[in-house]
Chains A and B, each alone.
Chain A
Amino acid sequence: MARISIDPVTRIEGHLRIDVEVDGGSVQKAWASCTMWRGIETILLGRDPREGWAFAQRFCGVCTTVHAMASVRAVEDALQLEIPANAQYIRNLILLAHGLHDHIVHFYHLSALDWVDITTIPKADPARAASIADGVSSWPGNSHRELAAVQNKVKGLIASGQLGIFSHGYWGHPAMRLSPEMNLILFAHYLQALEFQRKSNQVVGILGGKTPHIQNLAVGGVMNAINLNSLATFNMDRLGTLQSLLQDLIPFVQQAYFVDACLLAASYPEWFRYGRGVTNYLAVPDLPVDAKATKFDLPGGVIMNGNLGSVRPIQDWHDQPIRAAVAEDVTHAWYMGEGSQQPWKGKTDPYYTDFRDDGKYTWVKAPRYDGHPMQVGPLANVLVGYAAGHPLTRKWTDAALDRIASVHGSKVKPEDLQSTMGRYLARAIRSAMLSDLALQHLQLLSANILKGDDTTYNPPQFPQHEVEGVGMHEAPRGMLSHWVVIDKGAFSNYQAVVPTTWNASPRDQKGAPGPYESSLLANPVADPAKPLEVLRTVHSFDPCMACACHTLDASGREIAQVKVL
């Protein structure tokens, strides 16, 4: 029995420690620990709810937009305030572009190097690589010339002896199995992704006024002035710029990223057998298509015990079961007390002990749904949509599964998506869906403006008595909810239940582990000193521990460690 402690897990946003006990080449026990305090909500107490979103979007440096959005939605929910249709579409477009950006960065820059061994690239035949890529995709960035140029860059990098950030990879690990040509194709797209990441950012910037930290939100709508005949406001020119940015971005998502994820899945089919973990799924509906938010383009729902037939669709944000079912358990987290509390009554009183295997061991609380751990994220989003027969989800999921079957030979079923590889694939499926929806929502916005509607804001009114609200958003990493209590025009409680809290949750009072922890059970580990396989499963969730202190350390000491204890 070997105990491995990875502290911190690198190539993620924020600080996460993973401990596993390995016996006979696979994981027997696992603990997920966030080693930085997340009590940042306390900064909102007593503040004016109209400015809450500006602070909330500083919770995290990466997911700024999503916290801003959940915050205004929470206040609007508490006030029962409807927002104009234009405001819904503008917010949706920001969320769509942000989601695409986030998924692209996760696949290529945060996780591809768990599967792609760049040190084999010098051995690749660029002509053969170009013909492989051409056979599966019409993406123009796969030319022989382009791939040969990337190969030369990598040769130069390796010859210089300074791999830099690429020196930390587990190169030559027996679990790395792609051909040199496949490694070359994927790394070429890794570099191209830097360009497309910029384009999605520009969409957010044009609509949000600035990115990161959008400036256009308001409780009651958005602050974008719409006048098609004015140069200074949101006009036809801006609509045209957005359209052309999206038209540049979408082919990269659908012809490069989506195809790459399918190829990766077909090359590593055994990863559909690992990483299943918690098979209860929760996703909330998002991208409302009307002012009253009664209809949505992304479906929400609950699936229990991996049974897709049991899906309970969530129609809208007023869903009573969710409001009653969510509670956070602090038995194994560094907060005062034990047991669980509903977020509106939630407290954030820190109580630090050491890392105790059977006691408290993390700063992350354990959110539960009717007492059950739940998995959130693109996989939950895709599974509830597929199970409920949502046409767009079916279209892209079936396309992915057919593609894998045509490369690999054997059919992968929708149920098999409940796995480490399924989480990577679901994120790519969701990205392809978001691309289709981005153009549709731009169309909805321009059609509504051309109809003569230029309203973007309904002013809020604050009652003198106490009101409660919850703002929900299906963020890139899964269901995000901000729970607020407002008394006499000021926040008297504020709790953010974030996607990574669901997924990185510790054990609860009943001892039930969270999704990271249970997904690692039976995960293979060929070499305890190089736990690449553990990283694959942890990275499949796209961890964002967030809200951390960002500073430079000039001492140059080694901080990341893998310890075999």
Chain B
Amino acid sequence: MNTSQRNALPTPKHVCVIGLGNVLLGDDGFGPLAVEMFRCKYECGSNVEALDLGTPGLDLAPYLYGKDLVVIADAVHAGEKPGTLCIYCEADLFSRRAQLRLTAHDPGVQECIAQLRVAGHAPSELIIVGVVPESCALGEGFSPAMLSTSPIAVDKIARLLVERAIDCRRRDAPVEPNLWWLPGDRSSHTEIRSARGHVFQTSKCRQLGNR
């Protein structure tokens, strides 16, 4: 390594925090909720995008393309009780630990990753921050279990970034989340209290550890 290389600043990592899910289907809207809460509570460098992508199916691929780190927030059916926070890495996704449900937009995360992997443009690291939903029936709004775990999941996303030396700071003055799809008095939904006694299910992936 020559001197100029050693002195050069490291290239900032390209990071994307993605929320998946349908806001019109109750707890399925966890992903969009988490991204909005994350954006309002934390401030990141311009190398970090935070996007609510809904249920894009194969159209997810362009947002994963060439990224260093992708964190996906999504509702997961893990056979645990509603509100359980589950963290998965890419290997979990492919080892059937967390498999995509086919009843949904069938081609999804797994397919996009597999395509991009062959093409040589897959993200270097993929982490899924999931919460077990109580109900994904038609209608806006969240279950109490989802509301109490969401802030913990959001802090977890921030911690995952910080642990990877990615610029992510708590805002001095938090911004009010715009949860535009929630019915009636939206403010009651934004006062999301931190819950006690929630259950963690952690990944077996080494790089994620068992925190």
- Which residues on A are within 8 Å of B, measured CB to CB? 8, 10-15, 35-37, 39-40, 42-43, 54-55, 58-62, 64, 101, 105, 109-110, 153-154, 157, 164-166, 191, 194-195, 197-198, 201, 210, 212-213, 546-557, 559-560
Contacts and interface: CB of A to CB of B under 8 A. Distances in A.
Given A164-B114, A551-B133, 5 more contacts: A61-B55, A551-B76, A554-B97, A554-B99, A559-B101
B97 A551 contact: no
Contacts of B121: 194-195
A40 B24 contact: yes
10 contacts: A58-B23, A62-B56, A166-B114, A191-B119, A212-B54, A548-B104, A551-B136, A552-B128, A556-B99, A560-B102
A157 B128 contact: no
Given A552-B128, A554-B76, A153 B118 contact: yes
Which one of B20, B55, B110, B121 has the greatest number of beta carbons of chain A within 10 Å?
B55
B200 interface: no
Contacts of A191: 115, 118-119
Contacts of B104: 14-15, 548-551
Contacts of A197: 59, 61-62
Nearest to A61: B55
B78 to A, nearest CB: 4
A194 B119 contact: yes
B57 to A, nearest CB: 5
B106 A554 contact: no
Interface string B10-38: 00000000001111110010000000000
Interface string B62-78: 10010000000011111
Interface size bracket, B side:
35 or more
A556 B96 contact: yes
A236 to B, nearest CB: 24
B103 A548 contact: yes
B155 interface: no
A117 to B, nearest CB: 16
B98 interface: yes
A517 B20 CA distance: 33
A525 B100 CA distance: 29
B54 to A, nearest CB: 4
A548 B77 contact: no
A157 B181 CA distance: 43
Nearest to A37: B138
A55 B139 CA distance: 12
A532 B99 CA distance: 24
B181 A550 contact: no
A550 B98 contact: no
